[in-house]
Amino acid sequence: MPAAAARPRAARRLDPCIAAIGLAAIGLVVLPACRVTSHPTEPHAPPAAASTPKSWDEVLDAPVDLEVRTVVSARWEAKRKGLVNLRHPVAKEAGLKNETIPIVLHVGVIRHPDAGDFIVDTGVDTALAQGDRDGAVRGLLRSFTKSMEPLEPLAAIVAREELEVRGVLLTHSHVDHILGLPDLAPEVPIYVGPGELSDRRKLNGLLRPTHRRLFDGRDPVRELDPATMIALDPFPAVIDLLGDGSIWGILCEGHTKGSMAWLVNAAEGPALFVGDSSHTRWGWEHGVEPGKFTSGDHALNAEVLQRLRAFVEQHPEVKVYVGHEL
């Protein structure tokens, strides 16, 4: 990215989470594990479905006339050791190095003929794109977004696409997936996986002020209820979000406590947003899970990645969107 190349090397290297690690290392802060945010949540159960499918073949044989695509909201860069487990034998054999590589922050756009429009993750907001110092991103975190190249904030995407957003489907709550929230009306529902916002991580202490500003004034976040989920091989917990077979949430615990993948069962072809269960296309294609940026359970992250890949191998018509590449 030409715009980022001229910036200081230190600013290019670090993502917001690594900033916290750096501060802790030099003794400026000591952080206990704490919740992502204290913003209220409420359990969400889907509408009753006409029937319970016995297989994904049954689901995919009944697609819905949806539109689905992805839009790049910003470009950034990160160290490969965060994006890919460089200790994995396949990564070692490939000779991958811990280089700084380009990434994107993208927004999934889903247009449902009856339920309205949904987005998967949020890109960046207008304040961040315009360099507003009074926006949600301030202080230390702001310094580590200097190498970010905003392309189209969420408000601009919504206006250009003429969206009436009826819901935000978060793959997880890491800050780079929720930066666009201030561009949405506070009553727009946000859906997260079970336990996602109550997950305790050591870095949350530094990020809590940012999370508070991003969620400020919003309605309670809708947390998917595990009791309403069903098993659908190879996944132990999935949910038919709207009850019509159009949008399926797949619990992908590992990268974070409540990480989700979202399957859009579109007539033009199914699309799967795997979030940061795989940050990169290389990691997805080679079955190598993320590295340092996984804040949850690395072993579970590796396991869920294999489940997702097995599902796509069984259903090769599914188009896959990874977390930070196209």
pLDDT single digits (tens) 87-97: 999 999 999 99
Domain membership flag for residue 49: no
Distance CA 167, CA 190 (A): 6
Look at residues 256, 235, 307, 258 and name the one whose alpha carbon lies nearest to residue 56: 235
Domain membership flag for residue 50: no
Q: How many domains does the chain have?
A: 1
Side-chain-facing half-sphere of 102: CA atoms under 13 Å: 11
Q: What are the phi and psi torsion angles at 183 (to 5°)?
A: -80, 0
Which pLDDT value is given to residue 32?
67
Say which CATH number the domain at 156 has.
Answer: 3.60.15.10
Can you tell me the mean pLDDT for 281-300? Answer: 97
CB 221 within 8 A of CB 215: yes
Domain membership flag for residue 61: yes
Domain membership flag for residue 46: no
CB 34 within 8 A of CB 208: yes
Domain membership flag for residue 63: yes
Domain membership flag for residue 47: no
Confidence of residue 171 (pLDDT cuts 50, 70, 90): very high
Residues paired with 322 in a beta bridge: 275
Residue 42 has pLDDT above 50, yes or no: yes
Find the domain containing 160 and state its range.
2-36+55-322
pLDDT tens digit sequence for 215-256: 999 999 999 999 999 999 999 999 999 999 999 999 999 999
CB 118 within 8 A of CB 68: no
Domain membership flag for residue 41: no
Domain membership flag for residue 81: yes
Which pLDDT value is given to residue 51?
87
